Amino acid sequence: MRVVLDTNVVVSALLFSGPPRALLRRLCNRPFELWTSRSLLRELAGTLAHRKLRSVVGRTGMSVALLVQAYAQQTLVVSDAVLPEVVFTPDPGDADVIAAARAARARWLVTGDRHLLDHREEAGCEVLAVTEALRLCED
């Protein structure tokens, strides 16, 4: 089953313990395929490099580049050439994650973003909160 994680979920999974980390660990194993895009990897790098996360990233013992690389190694990356043009008016910043999910033909897009959760029908796949996805993984 193909899954795309929104950047907010990946950041939480990489930096903190809790449900996002448990979910990431579960999704790194069959029958799941974890997908992303170059755009989402760039967003992840930018978010992890943010000044407010500097001390938390430092506690991992890894640089931002290594954290992104470690995550990327667990994923399949959608080619930029197949990313569809997406317009998501509730929050245009979410267009990249929707495009990645559509291009990957993901079954799930997992997010903590209220805009995506409130407009699930526009994504083209199931949009789940972390706790929903974790529960479904355990069933």
The pLDDT tens digits of the residues spanning 77-92 come to 998 766 657 655 555 5
The pLDDT tens digits of the residues spanning 25-43 come to 999 888 999 999 999 999 9
Provide Rg for the chain, Cα atoms: 14
pLDDT bin (cut points 50, 70, 90) of residue 138 is: confident
CATH code for the domain of 13: 3.40.50.1010
Q: What is the mean pLDDT of the chain?
A: 90
CB distance 125 to 98 below 8 Å? no
Beta strand residue intervals within 13-102, DSSP E: 33-37, 76-78
Q: Which domain holds residue 101?
A: 2-138
What value does the mean pLDDT take over residues 63-84?
A: 88
pLDDT bin (cut points 50, 70, 90) of residue 131 is: very high
Token pair for residue 51? 């000044």
The pLDDT tens digits of the residues spanning 102-116 come to 999 999 999 998 888
Per the structure, how many domains does the chain have?
1
CB distance 21 to 29 below 8 Å? no
User: pLDDT at position 95, please?
Assistant: 83
CB distance 128 to 109 below 8 Å? yes
Give the residue with greater pLDDT, 82 vs 10: 10
User: pLDDT at position 2, please?
Assistant: 96
What is d(CA 108, CA 120) in angstroms, rounded to the nearest whole number?
11
What is d(CA 86, CA 132) in angstroms, rounded to the nearest whole number?
25
Instruction: Give the residue carrying structure tokens 């050439």.
Output: 81
